[in-house]
Structure 1
Amino acid sequence: MEVLGVDACGKQGWVGIRLADGAYAGSLVDVRLDALIGRAGGVAVIAVDMPLGLVEKGWRAADLGARALLRERRSTVFLVAPRPAWLESEFTAAGDRCQELTGQRLSRQAWALAPKLLEARACRLADDRIHEVHPELSFRALADGTPPAYAKKTWRGQHLRRSLLAGAGLVLPDELGEADRVPTDDVLDATAAAWSAHRIALGTAGRIPEVPELDAEGRAVEIRY
Protein backbone atom coordinates (compact mmCIF):
# COMPACT_ATOMS: atom_id res chain seq x y z
CA MET A 1 0.00 0.00 0.00
CA GLU A 2 1.43 3.37 -1.05
CA VAL A 3 0.51 6.79 0.33
CA LEU A 4 1.78 10.34 -0.13
CA GLY A 5 2.40 13.16 2.34
CA VAL A 6 2.71 16.71 0.98
CA ASP A 7 3.91 20.03 2.37
CA ALA A 8 4.20 23.44 0.74
CA CYS A 9 7.81 24.60 0.36
CA GLY A 10 7.89 28.24 -0.74
CA LYS A 11 8.99 29.07 -4.27
CA GLN A 12 9.86 25.43 -4.91
CA GLY A 13 6.16 24.65 -4.73
CA TRP A 14 5.38 21.37 -3.01
CA VAL A 15 7.38 18.46 -1.59
CA GLY A 16 5.93 14.97 -1.38
CA ILE A 17 7.17 11.97 0.59
CA ARG A 18 5.91 8.58 -0.54
CA LEU A 19 5.57 5.59 1.77
CA ALA A 20 5.15 1.94 0.80
CA ASP A 21 3.68 -0.18 3.59
CA GLY A 22 4.70 2.52 6.07
CA ALA A 23 8.34 2.77 4.96
CA TYR A 24 10.07 5.58 3.05
CA ALA A 25 9.79 5.01 -0.70
CA GLY A 26 10.97 8.26 -2.32
CA SER A 27 10.42 12.00 -2.66
CA LEU A 28 8.90 14.33 -5.24
CA VAL A 29 9.15 18.10 -5.70
CA ASP A 30 7.03 20.12 -8.13
CA VAL A 31 5.92 23.72 -8.52
CA ARG A 32 2.30 22.57 -9.00
CA LEU A 33 0.41 20.33 -6.61
CA ASP A 34 -1.67 18.66 -9.33
CA ALA A 35 1.51 17.81 -11.23
CA LEU A 36 3.14 16.34 -8.12
CA ILE A 37 0.04 14.23 -7.42
CA GLY A 38 -0.01 13.06 -11.02
CA ARG A 39 3.62 11.96 -10.78
CA ALA A 40 2.87 10.04 -7.58
CA GLY A 41 0.64 7.64 -9.49
CA GLY A 42 -1.94 5.41 -7.86
CA VAL A 43 -1.31 6.08 -4.17
CA ALA A 44 -4.19 5.14 -1.87
CA VAL A 45 -4.24 8.32 0.26
CA ILE A 46 -2.77 11.81 -0.11
CA ALA A 47 -2.35 13.92 3.04
CA VAL A 48 -1.65 17.63 2.52
CA ASP A 49 -0.51 20.15 5.13
CA MET A 50 -2.82 22.94 4.00
CA PRO A 51 -6.33 24.07 5.00
CA LEU A 52 -8.79 22.39 2.63
CA GLY A 53 -12.30 22.63 4.05
CA LEU A 54 -13.69 26.15 4.57
CA VAL A 55 -16.73 27.19 6.57
CA GLU A 56 -19.07 30.02 5.60
CA LYS A 57 -18.96 31.94 8.91
CA GLY A 58 -16.88 31.91 12.10
CA TRP A 59 -13.61 30.10 12.78
CA ARG A 60 -13.20 26.43 11.93
CA ALA A 61 -13.78 24.05 14.85
CA ALA A 62 -10.84 22.01 13.51
CA ASP A 63 -8.37 24.85 14.11
CA LEU A 64 -9.72 25.67 17.56
CA GLY A 65 -9.52 22.01 18.55
CA ALA A 66 -6.01 21.61 17.16
CA ARG A 67 -4.81 24.66 19.08
CA ALA A 68 -6.20 23.25 22.32
CA LEU A 69 -4.39 19.93 21.79
CA LEU A 70 -1.07 21.48 20.83
CA ARG A 71 -0.89 23.80 23.87
CA GLU A 72 2.59 25.44 23.68
CA ARG A 73 2.72 24.77 19.93
CA ARG A 74 -0.73 26.30 19.36
CA SER A 75 0.74 29.20 17.36
CA THR A 76 1.62 26.75 14.58
CA VAL A 77 -2.10 26.51 13.75
CA PHE A 78 -3.45 29.52 11.83
CA LEU A 79 -7.09 30.39 12.29
CA VAL A 80 -8.49 29.87 8.81
CA ALA A 81 -10.90 32.55 7.61
CA PRO A 82 -14.33 31.63 6.18
CA ARG A 83 -14.58 30.87 2.47
CA PRO A 84 -15.89 34.31 1.34
CA ALA A 85 -12.71 35.99 2.63
CA TRP A 86 -10.53 33.85 0.34
CA LEU A 87 -12.56 34.96 -2.67
CA GLU A 88 -11.31 38.53 -2.25
CA SER A 89 -8.42 39.64 -4.44
CA GLU A 90 -6.37 41.61 -1.91
CA PHE A 91 -5.52 41.60 1.78
CA THR A 92 -7.52 44.61 3.01
CA ALA A 93 -10.76 43.43 1.43
CA ALA A 94 -10.15 39.90 2.73
CA GLY A 95 -9.56 41.34 6.21
CA ASP A 96 -12.80 43.32 6.04
CA ARG A 97 -14.72 40.20 5.00
CA CYS A 98 -13.10 38.15 7.76
CA GLN A 99 -13.99 40.83 10.33
CA GLU A 100 -17.60 40.71 9.19
CA LEU A 101 -17.80 36.90 9.45
CA THR A 102 -15.69 36.18 12.55
CA GLY A 103 -15.35 39.43 14.49
CA GLN A 104 -11.59 39.47 13.86
CA ARG A 105 -9.38 40.44 10.95
CA LEU A 106 -7.36 37.99 8.88
CA SER A 107 -3.64 37.89 9.71
CA ARG A 108 -1.04 38.61 7.02
CA GLN A 109 0.55 35.23 7.73
CA ALA A 110 -2.73 33.50 6.99
CA TRP A 111 -3.36 35.62 3.86
CA ALA A 112 0.08 34.60 2.54
CA LEU A 113 -1.31 31.07 2.29
CA ALA A 114 -3.99 32.15 -0.19
CA PRO A 115 -2.39 31.00 -3.50
CA LYS A 116 -1.46 27.56 -2.19
CA LEU A 117 -4.66 27.19 -0.17
CA LEU A 118 -6.77 27.80 -3.26
CA GLU A 119 -4.55 25.51 -5.31
CA ALA A 120 -4.85 22.70 -2.77
CA ARG A 121 -8.64 23.15 -2.47
CA ALA A 122 -9.02 22.82 -6.23
CA CYS A 123 -7.08 19.56 -6.11
CA ARG A 124 -9.16 18.28 -3.21
CA LEU A 125 -12.43 18.97 -4.99
CA ALA A 126 -11.18 16.87 -7.89
CA ASP A 127 -9.66 13.99 -5.90
CA ASP A 128 -11.28 12.18 -2.98
CA ARG A 129 -7.94 10.70 -1.91
CA ILE A 130 -6.82 14.07 -0.53
CA HIS A 131 -7.11 14.82 3.21
CA GLU A 132 -6.03 17.78 5.33
CA VAL A 133 -3.41 17.14 8.00
CA HIS A 134 -1.27 19.24 10.33
CA PRO A 135 2.25 17.89 11.00
CA GLU A 136 2.42 19.14 14.58
CA LEU A 137 -0.64 17.02 15.38
CA SER A 138 1.08 14.08 13.70
CA PHE A 139 4.22 14.59 15.78
CA ARG A 140 2.08 14.93 18.90
CA ALA A 141 0.50 11.56 18.11
CA LEU A 142 3.93 10.04 17.48
CA ALA A 143 4.96 11.24 20.94
CA ASP A 144 1.93 9.65 22.66
CA GLY A 145 0.07 12.92 23.05
CA THR A 146 2.96 15.23 23.95
CA PRO A 147 3.37 18.24 21.62
CA PRO A 148 6.94 18.80 20.35
CA ALA A 149 8.95 20.77 22.92
CA TYR A 150 11.06 22.64 20.35
CA ALA A 151 10.18 24.58 17.20
CA LYS A 152 10.61 22.75 13.91
CA LYS A 153 13.24 25.12 12.51
CA THR A 154 15.62 24.59 15.47
CA TRP A 155 18.35 21.95 15.65
CA ARG A 156 16.75 20.23 18.65
CA GLY A 157 13.31 20.45 17.10
CA GLN A 158 14.42 18.80 13.88
CA HIS A 159 16.37 16.10 15.72
CA LEU A 160 13.32 15.36 17.88
CA ARG A 161 10.98 15.08 14.91
CA ARG A 162 13.32 12.85 12.92
CA SER A 163 13.73 10.63 15.99
CA LEU A 164 9.96 10.36 16.46
CA LEU A 165 9.54 9.28 12.84
CA ALA A 166 12.37 6.75 13.15
CA GLY A 167 10.78 5.37 16.29
CA ALA A 168 7.68 4.59 14.22
CA GLY A 169 9.80 2.78 11.66
CA LEU A 170 9.95 5.66 9.23
CA VAL A 171 13.65 6.21 8.67
CA LEU A 172 14.68 8.94 6.26
CA PRO A 173 17.85 8.24 4.25
CA ASP A 174 20.69 10.74 4.08
CA GLU A 175 20.05 11.17 0.34
CA LEU A 176 16.45 11.96 -0.60
CA GLY A 177 16.76 12.63 -4.32
CA GLU A 178 14.45 15.46 -5.37
CA ALA A 179 13.82 16.60 -1.78
CA ASP A 180 17.54 17.12 -1.15
CA ARG A 181 17.06 20.77 -2.20
CA VAL A 182 14.08 21.38 0.11
CA PRO A 183 14.42 22.89 3.63
CA THR A 184 14.65 20.21 6.33
CA ASP A 185 11.54 21.32 8.21
CA ASP A 186 9.44 20.98 5.05
CA VAL A 187 10.78 17.46 4.44
CA LEU A 188 9.97 16.47 8.02
CA ASP A 189 6.48 17.96 7.76
CA ALA A 190 5.81 16.09 4.51
CA THR A 191 7.04 12.88 6.13
CA ALA A 192 4.75 13.40 9.14
CA ALA A 193 1.90 14.00 6.69
CA ALA A 194 2.77 10.73 4.95
CA TRP A 195 2.73 8.92 8.33
CA SER A 196 -0.78 10.28 8.90
CA ALA A 197 -1.77 9.30 5.33
CA HIS A 198 -0.75 5.73 6.15
CA ARG A 199 -2.94 5.84 9.28
CA ILE A 200 -5.86 7.19 7.24
CA ALA A 201 -5.45 4.32 4.78
CA LEU A 202 -5.44 1.82 7.67
CA GLY A 203 -8.48 3.44 9.31
CA THR A 204 -6.56 4.28 12.50
CA ALA A 205 -6.06 8.06 12.09
CA GLY A 206 -7.52 10.56 14.52
CA ARG A 207 -9.62 13.54 13.47
CA ILE A 208 -10.44 17.00 14.79
CA PRO A 209 -13.24 17.62 15.50
CA GLU A 210 -14.76 14.21 16.16
CA VAL A 211 -17.94 15.33 14.39
CA PRO A 212 -16.76 17.56 11.54
CA GLU A 213 -18.43 20.62 10.14
CA LEU A 214 -19.35 20.53 6.46
CA ASP A 215 -18.24 22.97 3.78
CA ALA A 216 -20.34 24.40 0.96
CA GLU A 217 -19.65 21.27 -1.12
CA GLY A 218 -20.79 18.97 1.69
CA ARG A 219 -17.26 17.75 2.49
CA ALA A 220 -15.88 17.34 6.00
CA VAL A 221 -13.96 20.29 7.46
CA GLU A 222 -11.50 18.37 9.60
CA ILE A 223 -7.83 17.79 10.31
CA ARG A 224 -6.62 14.19 10.31
CA TYR A 225 -3.51 12.94 12.13
Structure 2
Amino acid sequence: MSHASPTWIAGVDACTSGWFIVLEEIHTGVHRHRIVDHAAALLHLPEQPAYLGIDMIIGLPDAARSGGRACDRAARTLLGWPRSSSIFSPPCRSALQANTYDDASAQNRRSHSDSVGLTKQAFNLFPKIRALDQALSPAAQQRVREVHPECSFYVLNGNTALAASKHTDEGRTHRIHLLEEAGFTDLDSALHAYARAQASADDILDAHAACYTARRMHAGTAERLPEAEPVPVDATGLRMEIWR
Protein backbone atom coordinates (compact mmCIF):
# COMPACT_ATOMS: atom_id res chain seq x y z
CA MET A 1 0.00 0.00 0.00
CA SER A 2 1.37 3.42 -0.91
CA HIS A 3 1.38 6.20 1.63
CA ALA A 4 1.05 9.89 0.89
CA SER A 5 4.24 11.81 1.54
CA PRO A 6 4.08 13.99 4.66
CA THR A 7 2.39 17.34 4.12
CA TRP A 8 3.01 19.90 6.83
CA ILE A 9 1.41 23.24 7.56
CA ALA A 10 2.47 25.67 10.28
CA GLY A 11 1.39 28.56 12.46
CA VAL A 12 3.83 31.12 13.87
CA ASP A 13 3.73 33.83 16.50
CA ALA A 14 6.52 36.13 17.60
CA CYS A 15 7.80 35.41 21.10
CA THR A 16 10.46 36.79 23.44
CA SER A 17 13.15 34.39 22.27
CA GLY A 18 12.30 34.48 18.57
CA TRP A 19 9.41 32.83 16.73
CA PHE A 20 7.18 30.11 18.17
CA ILE A 21 6.12 27.53 15.56
CA VAL A 22 3.36 24.92 15.62
CA LEU A 23 3.56 22.33 12.83
CA GLU A 24 0.80 19.93 11.80
CA GLU A 25 1.06 16.95 9.47
CA ILE A 26 -2.14 17.01 7.44
CA HIS A 27 -2.60 13.26 6.91
CA THR A 28 -1.92 12.12 10.49
CA GLY A 29 -2.73 15.16 12.63
CA VAL A 30 0.68 14.85 14.30
CA HIS A 31 1.89 18.11 15.86
CA ARG A 32 5.35 19.50 16.55
CA HIS A 33 6.38 22.76 18.14
CA ARG A 34 9.65 24.63 18.44
CA ILE A 35 11.24 28.07 18.66
CA VAL A 36 13.56 29.47 16.00
CA ASP A 37 15.76 32.52 16.47
CA HIS A 38 15.52 34.23 13.10
CA ALA A 39 12.75 35.05 10.62
CA ALA A 40 14.81 33.66 7.73
CA ALA A 41 14.64 30.23 9.39
CA LEU A 42 10.86 30.24 8.91
CA LEU A 43 11.37 29.88 5.16
CA HIS A 44 13.74 26.94 5.57
CA LEU A 45 12.02 24.66 8.07
CA PRO A 46 12.95 20.99 7.54
CA GLU A 47 9.27 20.06 7.22
CA GLN A 48 8.87 22.55 4.34
CA PRO A 49 5.28 23.47 5.26
CA ALA A 50 2.93 23.93 2.32
CA TYR A 51 1.38 26.91 4.11
CA LEU A 52 2.61 28.99 6.99
CA GLY A 53 0.28 31.41 8.77
CA ILE A 54 2.16 34.05 10.71
CA ASP A 55 0.91 36.58 13.21
CA MET A 56 3.05 39.45 12.02
CA ILE A 57 2.61 42.36 9.64
CA ILE A 58 3.43 41.54 6.02
CA GLY A 59 3.33 44.42 3.57
CA LEU A 60 3.94 48.01 4.64
CA PRO A 61 2.10 51.05 3.27
CA ASP A 62 4.00 54.04 1.91
CA ALA A 63 1.71 56.34 3.87
CA ALA A 64 0.19 55.74 7.30
CA ARG A 65 -3.51 56.48 6.96
CA SER A 66 -6.14 56.52 9.67
CA GLY A 67 -7.29 52.94 10.31
CA GLY A 68 -4.25 51.36 8.69
CA ARG A 69 -4.33 49.08 5.66
CA ALA A 70 -7.56 47.86 4.04
CA CYS A 71 -7.02 44.44 5.67
CA ASP A 72 -6.68 46.03 9.12
CA ARG A 73 -9.92 47.93 8.70
CA ALA A 74 -11.71 44.81 7.40
CA ALA A 75 -10.43 42.74 10.34
CA ARG A 76 -11.69 45.32 12.85
CA THR A 77 -15.10 45.38 11.18
CA LEU A 78 -15.22 41.57 11.28
CA LEU A 79 -14.35 41.35 14.98
CA GLY A 80 -16.30 44.33 16.30
CA TRP A 81 -15.63 45.91 19.68
CA PRO A 82 -13.79 45.03 21.89
CA ARG A 83 -11.74 42.41 19.96
CA SER A 84 -11.17 44.97 17.19
CA SER A 85 -8.75 46.72 19.57
CA SER A 86 -6.30 43.84 19.05
CA ILE A 87 -5.75 44.94 15.42
CA PHE A 88 -3.17 47.70 15.42
CA SER A 89 -2.10 49.66 12.36
CA PRO A 90 1.40 49.04 10.95
CA PRO A 91 4.02 51.74 10.43
CA CYS A 92 4.64 53.24 7.04
CA ARG A 93 7.71 51.79 5.35
CA SER A 94 9.95 54.82 5.97
CA ALA A 95 9.18 54.84 9.71
CA LEU A 96 10.46 51.28 9.99
CA GLN A 97 14.02 52.56 9.57
CA ALA A 98 13.81 54.85 12.61
CA ASN A 99 15.81 53.92 15.70
CA THR A 100 13.75 55.73 18.33
CA TYR A 101 10.03 55.77 19.06
CA ASP A 102 9.80 59.56 18.73
CA ASP A 103 11.51 59.54 15.32
CA ALA A 104 9.38 56.64 14.07
CA SER A 105 6.17 58.32 15.21
CA ALA A 106 7.21 61.63 13.60
CA GLN A 107 7.98 59.91 10.28
CA ASN A 108 4.66 58.11 10.43
CA ARG A 109 2.83 61.42 10.94
CA ARG A 110 4.70 63.09 8.08
CA SER A 111 3.81 60.31 5.63
CA HIS A 112 0.17 61.38 5.18
CA SER A 113 -2.13 64.29 5.91
CA ASP A 114 -4.01 62.09 8.41
CA SER A 115 -0.97 62.61 10.69
CA VAL A 116 -1.24 59.18 12.28
CA GLY A 117 1.10 58.47 15.17
CA LEU A 118 2.47 55.09 16.17
CA THR A 119 1.66 52.88 19.12
CA LYS A 120 4.46 51.72 21.41
CA GLN A 121 3.27 48.17 20.72
CA ALA A 122 3.94 48.62 17.00
CA PHE A 123 7.36 50.21 17.63
CA ASN A 124 8.40 47.35 19.91
CA LEU A 125 7.72 44.96 17.04
CA PHE A 126 9.97 46.83 14.60
CA PRO A 127 12.84 44.27 14.82
CA LYS A 128 10.46 41.39 14.03
CA ILE A 129 8.65 43.34 11.28
CA ARG A 130 11.99 44.30 9.69
CA ALA A 131 13.36 40.76 9.84
CA LEU A 132 10.28 39.22 8.24
CA ASP A 133 10.09 41.97 5.63
CA GLN A 134 13.70 41.29 4.62
CA ALA A 135 13.16 37.52 4.50
CA LEU A 136 10.00 37.57 2.37
CA SER A 137 9.39 38.06 -1.33
CA PRO A 138 6.13 38.17 -3.32
CA ALA A 139 6.86 34.58 -4.45
CA ALA A 140 7.31 33.37 -0.87
CA GLN A 141 3.96 34.93 -0.01
CA GLN A 142 2.23 32.19 -1.96
CA ARG A 143 2.69 30.02 1.13
CA VAL A 144 3.76 32.43 3.91
CA ARG A 145 0.75 34.57 4.77
CA GLU A 146 -0.25 37.05 7.43
CA VAL A 147 -2.93 35.92 9.87
CA HIS A 148 -4.36 37.39 13.04
CA PRO A 149 -5.18 35.03 15.93
CA GLU A 150 -8.40 36.81 16.89
CA CYS A 151 -9.65 36.34 13.31
CA SER A 152 -8.67 32.66 13.56
CA PHE A 153 -10.51 32.30 16.86
CA TYR A 154 -13.49 34.07 15.27
CA VAL A 155 -13.75 31.19 12.79
CA LEU A 156 -13.10 28.56 15.47
CA ASN A 157 -15.93 30.10 17.52
CA GLY A 158 -18.54 29.68 14.79
CA ASN A 159 -17.85 33.01 13.07
CA THR A 160 -18.34 34.92 16.31
CA ALA A 161 -15.75 37.09 18.03
CA LEU A 162 -14.74 35.89 21.47
CA ALA A 163 -16.28 37.85 24.31
CA ALA A 164 -13.38 37.66 26.78
CA SER A 165 -9.83 38.93 26.28
CA LYS A 166 -7.03 36.38 25.98
CA HIS A 167 -5.45 38.10 28.98
CA THR A 168 -8.22 36.86 31.30
CA ASP A 169 -8.64 33.36 32.75
CA GLU A 170 -12.03 33.07 31.07
CA GLY A 171 -10.63 34.10 27.70
CA ARG A 172 -7.65 31.77 27.89
CA THR A 173 -9.82 28.82 28.96
CA HIS A 174 -12.21 29.45 26.06
CA ARG A 175 -9.36 29.63 23.54
CA ILE A 176 -7.84 26.39 24.84
CA HIS A 177 -11.24 24.68 24.56
CA LEU A 178 -11.73 25.84 20.97
CA LEU A 179 -8.24 24.67 19.94
CA GLU A 180 -8.69 21.28 21.59
CA GLU A 181 -12.02 20.86 19.78
CA ALA A 182 -10.17 21.62 16.54
CA GLY A 183 -7.78 18.70 17.12
CA PHE A 184 -4.88 20.28 19.00
CA THR A 185 -5.06 17.58 21.67
CA ASP A 186 -1.46 17.96 22.89
CA LEU A 187 -1.87 21.66 23.65
CA ASP A 188 -1.21 21.17 27.36
CA SER A 189 2.24 19.71 26.73
CA ALA A 190 3.14 22.65 24.50
CA LEU A 191 2.03 25.12 27.17
CA HIS A 192 4.29 23.45 29.74
CA ALA A 193 7.32 22.86 27.52
CA TYR A 194 8.72 26.39 27.53
CA ALA A 195 9.80 28.89 30.15
CA ARG A 196 7.80 32.10 30.16
CA ALA A 197 11.01 33.95 29.25
CA GLN A 198 11.03 31.95 25.99
CA ALA A 199 7.36 32.05 25.01
CA SER A 200 4.26 33.09 26.90
CA ALA A 201 1.03 31.08 27.00
CA ASP A 202 -0.53 33.74 24.75
CA ASP A 203 2.23 33.24 22.15
CA ILE A 204 1.70 29.47 22.19
CA LEU A 205 -2.10 29.68 21.89
CA ASP A 206 -1.88 32.29 19.12
CA ALA A 207 0.56 30.14 17.13
CA HIS A 208 -1.88 27.22 17.36
CA ALA A 209 -4.69 29.48 16.12
CA ALA A 210 -2.46 30.55 13.22
CA CYS A 211 -1.81 26.87 12.46
CA TYR A 212 -5.55 26.29 12.29
CA THR A 213 -5.84 29.00 9.64
CA ALA A 214 -2.91 27.45 7.74
CA ARG A 215 -4.91 24.20 7.80
CA ARG A 216 -7.79 26.08 6.19
CA MET A 217 -5.40 27.52 3.58
CA HIS A 218 -4.36 23.99 2.63
CA ALA A 219 -8.01 22.88 2.47
CA GLY A 220 -8.93 25.89 0.31
CA THR A 221 -11.46 27.18 2.85
CA ALA A 222 -9.48 30.11 4.29
CA GLU A 223 -10.85 33.56 3.54
CA ARG A 224 -8.89 36.71 2.83
CA LEU A 225 -9.35 40.20 4.17
CA PRO A 226 -10.02 42.39 2.30
CA GLU A 227 -12.26 40.27 0.08
CA ALA A 228 -12.30 42.72 -2.83
CA GLU A 229 -9.91 42.40 -5.76
CA PRO A 230 -7.31 43.54 -6.51
CA VAL A 231 -5.47 43.01 -3.22
CA PRO A 232 -3.38 46.07 -2.30
CA VAL A 233 0.37 45.57 -2.65
CA ASP A 234 3.18 47.55 -1.10
CA ALA A 235 6.21 49.11 -2.79
CA THR A 236 8.10 45.78 -2.73
CA GLY A 237 5.22 43.82 -4.26
CA LEU A 238 4.06 42.18 -1.01
CA ARG A 239 0.31 41.72 -0.73
CA MET A 240 -1.29 43.49 2.22
CA GLU A 241 -3.86 40.95 3.39
CA ILE A 242 -4.94 39.00 6.48
CA TRP A 243 -6.16 35.40 6.18
CA ARG A 244 -8.68 33.70 8.44
Q: Is TM-score (shorter-chain normalized) higher than 0.5?
A: yes
Q: CA deviation at 1:80?
A: 1.1
Deviates more, 1:36-45 or 1:152-161: 36-45
Higher strand share goes to which structure?
Answer: 1
Q: Does 1:107 align with 2:119?
A: yes
Q: CA deviation at 1:177?
A: 9.0
Structure 1 residue matching 2:54: 3-state secondary structure: strand
Equivalent-residue separation in structure 1 for 2:45 and 2:175 (angstroms): 27
Structure 2 residue matching 1:14: 3-state secondary structure: strand
Which of these residues, 184, 205, 212, is aligned with residue 222 of structure 2? Answer: 205
Quick check: 1:48–1:130 contact (8 Å CA) kept in 2? Answer: yes
Alignment of 1:126-141 (within 5 A): 127-128=140-141, 129-141=143-155
Aligned twin of 1:18: 23
Q: Which amino acid aligns with 1:160?
A: H
1:146-198 alpha-carbon deviations (Å, 9 max, x no partner):
11111112221111111111222232343239953332111110000011111
Structure 2 residue matching 1:198: 3-state secondary structure: helix
Equivalent-residue separation in structure 2 for 1:180 and 1:24 (angstroms): 19
Structure 1 unpaired stretches of 5+: none
Higher helix share goes to which structure?
Answer: 1
Q: CA deviation at 1:141?
A: 0.8
**Which structure has the bigger radius of gyration?**
2
Equivalent-residue separation in structure 1 for 2:208 and 2:121 (angstroms): 23
1:94-114 alpha-carbon deviations (Å, 9 max, x no partner):
111111224221111111110
Identity %: 33
Distance of aligned partners of 1:173 and 1:133 in 2 relative to their CA distance in 1, 3 Å threshold? closer
Q: Does 1:56 align with 2:56?
A: no
Structure 2 unpaired stretches of 5+: 1-6
Equivalent-residue separation in structure 1 for 2:46 and 2:165 (angstroms): 30
Quick check: 1:2–1:19 contact (8 Å CA) kept in 2? Answer: yes
Q: CA deviation at 1:40?
A: 4.1
Q: CA deviation at 1:2?
A: 0.8
Quick check: 2:152–2:213 contact (8 Å CA) kept in 1? Answer: yes
* Count of aligned residue pairs for this structure pair: 224
Quick check: 2:75–2:151 contact (8 Å CA) kept in 1? Answer: yes
Distance of aligned partners of 1:161 and 1:33 in 2 relative to their CA distance in 1, 3 Å threshold? same
Which of these residues, 181, 195, 209, is aligned with residue 192 of structure 1? Answer: 209
Equivalent-residue separation in structure 1 for 2:182 and 2:105 (angstroms): 41
Aligned twin of 1:118: 130
Which of these residues, 86, 92, 96, is aligned with residue 106 of structure 2? Answer: 96
Aligned twin of 2:234: 215
Distance of aligned partners of 1:37 and 1:29 in 2 relative to their CA distance in 1, 3 Å threshold? farther
Quick check: 1:28–1:178 contact (8 Å CA) kept in 2? Answer: no
**How does the TM-score come out when normalised to structure 1?**
0.91
Distance of aligned partners of 1:66 and 1:176 in 2 relative to their CA distance in 1, 3 Å threshold? same
Distance of aligned partners of 1:88 and 1:161 in 2 relative to their CA distance in 1, 3 Å threshold? same
Q: CA deviation at 1:36?
A: 4.7
Which of these residues, 42, 53, 56, is aligned with residue 47 of structure 1? Answer: 53
**How does the TM-score come out when normalised to structure 2?**
0.85
Quick check: 2:58–2:239 contact (8 Å CA) kept in 1? Answer: no
Distance of aligned partners of 1:150 and 1:7 in 2 relative to their CA distance in 1, 3 Å threshold? same
Q: CA deviation at 1:24?
A: 4.5
